[in-house]
């Protein structure tokens, strides 16, 4: 990458973070009544849970992971690999599931690249190989599978499986489905509830059932700002997010938090 282009990109990253920081500080959101140290304890508890219960189930779990409510994340079979700076968000009514089920040996399984986002309710089910590139985002309820799991006529054994590949910086919308044998090009967006059964090129938006290209994107006119770029200076990002937390939770007390939990008031 030319030095001038790299400098412009780094400036964009810093500019985007400053805009994010100011927006969070000024936005009138519901107040989080927890004291800062309680939130830190909760974050630590989540990390301990991941390291104790989930890490042994992954063949690889990269550094600087962020699991939100990891007790609602399920890992079945393997191999399953997650890269660095991966964020996995789960909920009681929207569990995240990584499952590998195959009658073959030495399969590739599931690989999720660096700086990816996996939202509540996402399910990734592999019988052979699912590869998700860096900086990809999976919205709530996304389902990705490389198999139909049963043949049209033979409904007893596993049906045929074909690898699925999402290139870097793919964004898959709410409740979309991606079927076996599909490759999605980099930067492409898959619309909500789309059903993708055929390959999609890079730099497009696709929607519908079956999914079709509805718009082309031009990265030469407007460069993409990816999650991977967001984490390029991870230490500064971490300090910035901590500063946001400290500012928003400033003045909160343990008694105030308990009072809100047991006796909430309208508008809080």
Contact at 8 Å (CB) between 227 and 117? yes
- Sequence-separated contacts (24+) of 33-39 with Cβ below 8 Å: 33/252, 33/256, 33/257, 33/260, 33/261, 33/268, 34/249, 34/252, 34/257, 35/249, 35/252, 35/253, 35/254, 35/257, 36/245, 36/246, 36/249, 36/250, 36/252, 38/254, 38/257, 39/245, 39/249
Longest dimension (CA), the chain: 65
Distinct helix (H) and strand (E) counts, the chain: 5, 20
Quick one: which H or E segment has residue 38? helix 36-49
Query: Rounded to whole angstroms, how far apart are CA atoms 144 and 176?
Result: 8
Contact at 8 Å (CB) between 125 and 101? yes
**Catalytic residue status for 150:** yes
HSE (CB half, 13 Å, CA atoms) of 104?
15
Q: How many CB atoms lie within 10 A of CB 219?
A: 12
Catalytic residue among 33, 64, 85, 150: 150
Active site residues: 150
């Amino acid at each position: 990458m030319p030095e001038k282009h790299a400098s412009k990109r780094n400036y964009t990253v810093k500019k985007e973070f400053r805009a994010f920081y100011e927006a969070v500080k000024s936005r009138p959101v519901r107040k989080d009544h927890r004291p800062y140290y309680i939130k830190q304890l909760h974050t630590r508890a989540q990390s301990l849970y991941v390291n104790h219960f989930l890490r042994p189930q992954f063949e690889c779990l990269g550094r600087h992971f962020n699991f939100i409510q990891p007790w609602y994340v399920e890992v079945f079979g393997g191999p399953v690999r997650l890269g660095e700076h991966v964020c996995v968000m789960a909920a009681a009514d929207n569990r995240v599931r990584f499952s590998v089920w195959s009658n073959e040996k030495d399969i590739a399984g599931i690989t999720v690249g660096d700086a990816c986002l996996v939202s509540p309710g996402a399910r990734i089910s592999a019988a052979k190989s699912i590869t998700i590139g860096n900086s990809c985002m999976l919205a709530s309820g996304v389902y990705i599978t490389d198999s139909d799991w049963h043949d049209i006529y033979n409904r007893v054994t596993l049906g045929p499986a074909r690898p699925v590949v999402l290139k870097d910086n793919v964004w898959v919308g709410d409740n979309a489905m991606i079927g076996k044998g599909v490759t999605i090009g980099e930067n492409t967006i898959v619309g909500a509830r789309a059903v993708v059964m055929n390959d999609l090129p890079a730099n497009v938006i696709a929607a519908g059932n079956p999914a079709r290209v509805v718009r082309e994107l031009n990265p030469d006119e407007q460069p993409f700002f990816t999650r991977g770029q967001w984490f390029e200076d991870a230490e500064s990002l971490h300090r910035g997010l901590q500063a946001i937390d400290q500012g928003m939770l400033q003045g909160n007390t343990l008694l105030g938090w308990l009072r809100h939990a047991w006796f909430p008031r309208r508008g809080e």
